[in-house]
Amino acid sequence: MWGRIGGKQGKQEVVRTVYFGGGTPSLLPAFHIEAILRTLREEFAFIDRPEITLECNPGTAETVKFSDYLGMGINRLSMGLQSANDKELEMLGRIHTYKDFCIAYEQARNAGFQNINVDVMSGLPEQTGDDYHRTLSAVIKAAPEHISSYSLIVEEGTVFGKMFSEGRLKLPDEETDRKLYQKTGEYLRAAGYERYEISNYAKQGYESKHNSSYWERIPYLGLGLGASSCYGEIRFCNTPDMQEYLKKNFAEESRRPETMPKEELIVTLSAFYSEVEVLTKQAQMEEFMFLGLRMKKGIDKVLFEKEFGQSYEAVYGTVTEKLEAEGLLNVTENHVTLTERGIDVSNYALAKFLL
């Protein structure tokens, strides 16, 4: 995430966070990661001690040099455990076992990492509450600084999607899944983790700055195949085709986007990116709401009016009254947040803000 987008001209861009994600970046030799970071530092100005995260698949631990990562400035790891049950991991198609995770986690701690996230997943086929509880217990015992807990989403076109359509996938019903979600919050809160976003929990001071920037609609630049970017109301995306991507010469345009008229910026971006979209004011307001309400702190009515030139009540007063009456929103003079019940049915509540 950065303050301004553009090339190295004047080095006006300020980078606050960097996130190596996507596939399995821990498969890359460390010197490649270092080369990428070196190039970023040459092209952009960095704040002091930026948050730099690398996703690490526990199945690649034997090839990872955690001390090298620390040496090049990476100060946060995100480990995709998903489950402490090897049968569940195999069912998910993961390449690691729970033992692999424990080894990788210990190696990272021994190398000196003091900020680690662990991903876990609920709502897996045939998963019981006890199964999920054992996974959470194992993660809490490891004591990472941050935990992300997601429910399984079955997508069309996937193996699980095909099995589900054929009636061969036994998933927990909606009520069971909701109870698992509620228990997650209760159990993690008792262990010292506070939920600051619908699916994310952290010890005090360890909330993810990078992910929070998405929810706060701070501009971001995505690098690599299929990576998405955001600059104000403009969204643009790299091609997922490697050959087409390699033909693009992103260095040709060195002017900073804040110096360009919007129309010229859109034309310039269209020359380099496969998809360029300009969000309407309505779409921006909707995004402000469904991203902002994901956070525990909710949305700021004053900021809404400052950004869109309309009062919050004029745009969303009616839907807010309805959801507040249903016990799904807490509303004060300047802020709107989801209640605990609202978080439980967040998809329903957030959909009401799509005008």
Instruction: Calculate mean pLDDT across residues 268-294.
Output: 91
- Arithmetic mean of pLDDT over the chain: 87
The pLDDT, as a whole number, for residue 134 is 93
Q: Are 200 and 207 in contact (CB under 8 A)?
A: yes
For residues 80 and 175, the model is more confident at 80
The pLDDT-based confidence of 7 (bands split at 50, 70, 90) is very low
Question: pLDDT tens-digit profile of 130-150?
Answer: 889 999 999 999 999 999 998
Closest-CA residue to 79 (of 101, 51, 48): 101
Q: Are 76 and 42 in contact (CB under 8 A)?
A: no
The pLDDT, as a whole number, for residue 2 is 44
Q: Are 43 and 10 in contact (CB under 8 A)?
A: no
pLDDT at position 186 over 80: yes
The pLDDT, as a whole number, for residue 10 is 47
The predicted model scores a pTM of 0.89
The pLDDT, as a whole number, for residue 250 is 58
The pLDDT-based confidence of 255 (bands split at 50, 70, 90) is low
> Measured on CA atoms in the order 202, 290, 340, 347, is the torsion positive or negative?
negative
Give the neighbor-by-neighbor strand order of the sheet with 116-122: 14-20, 45-56, 76-82, 116-122, 146-151, 200-202, 194-197
The pLDDT, as a whole number, for residue 231 is 87
CA distance linking residue 211 with residue 188, whole number of Å: 20
CA trace torsion 120, 122, 125, 128 (10° rounding): 110
For residues 144 and 247, the model is more confident at 144
Domains of the chain: 9-214 (3.30.750.200), 222-278 (no CATH), 281-351 (1.10.10.10)
CA distance linking residue 301 with residue 333, whole number of Å: 8
The pLDDT, as a whole number, for residue 129 is 84
The pLDDT, as a whole number, for residue 172 is 75
Which parts of the chain are beta strand (E)? 14-20, 45-56, 76-82, 116-122, 146-151, 194-197, 200-202, 228-231, 234-237, 275-278, 299-300, 329-331, 335-338
CA distance linking residue 104 with residue 62, whole number of Å: 8
Q: What is the largest CA-CA distance in the chain?
A: 59
pLDDT at position 156 over 90: no
Task: Pick the most confident of 8-12, 138-142, 339-343.
Answer: 138-142
> Measured on CA atoms in the order 347, 348, 352, 355, is the torsion positive or negative?
positive
Would you state the structure tokens that stand for residue 86, as one six-digit string? 């090897």
The pLDDT, as a whole number, for residue 12 is 58
